[in-house]
Structure 1
Amino acid sequence: MMSNIAMQKPRIEIEYCPGCRWLLRAGWMAQELLSTFEAQLGEVALIPSRVPGAFQVRFDGELLWCRKRNQGFPGIKELKQLVRDKLDPDMNLGHLDRE
């Protein structure tokens, strides 16, 4: 029998700056991730940041994307590929994996 910890699905957090009005962007990205990885993800959380200008995406606590570090926002294709690489690197994302 598997333990609850082993059965837990990954959590993605999207931390956004409410002062910059980035909630809609964060919500859209959450929706895209949930539609692509619905069966594999346990949760996508939207977190209003206390840090002005913040926009970060974390996968089980690991920073995948930081607007300041990466000098901008991720494209949805890039974000889905980053998440896929953590979930299942062999997973085919269809048209997103084509050049």
Structure 2
Amino acid sequence: MKPLVRITYCPKCGWMLRASYMSQELLTTFVDDIQGVQLEPSEIAGRYTVFVDTEEIFDRKREGRFPEIKELKQLVRNRVNPDKDLGHADH
């Protein structure tokens, strides 16, 4: 079964649009590699965390920032299809 990407975000912080944008980018890039992207509103204030299946690959609080889309695509790629060429996102 293909992996599922899950983005948990703080709805009170207004981060749903950011999560939606990132999910669209991931779905477009990994159309053949992932099952889908699940957006999950968090009850924890300030949360923005990205998982591939159960593995946390990015946490805003730990990193002190949001992921760049290029970086997020690389992190997902490394777990779902390490040989995939991301084109300009790899350079």
Give the TM-score normalised by structure 1: 0.90
Tell me which residue corresponds to 2:32. 39
Summarize deviations over 1:52-74 as a string: whole Å, max 9, x none. Answer: 00000000110000000011100
Q: How big is the shift at 1:13?
A: 0.4
Post-superposition, which runs of at least 4 consecutive aligned residues in structure 1 deviate over 3 A? none
Structure 1 residues 48-87: aligned runs within 5 Å: 48-87=41-80
1:46 maps to amino acid: L
2:46 maps to amino acid: G
Identity %: 51
Tell me which residue corresponds to 1:11. 4
Q: How big is the shift at 1:88?
A: 1.6
1:76 maps to amino acid: I
* Structure 1 unaligned blocks of 5 or more: 1-7
Which of the two has greater helix per residue? Answer: 2
1:65 maps to amino acid: F
* Structure 2 unaligned blocks of 5 or more: none
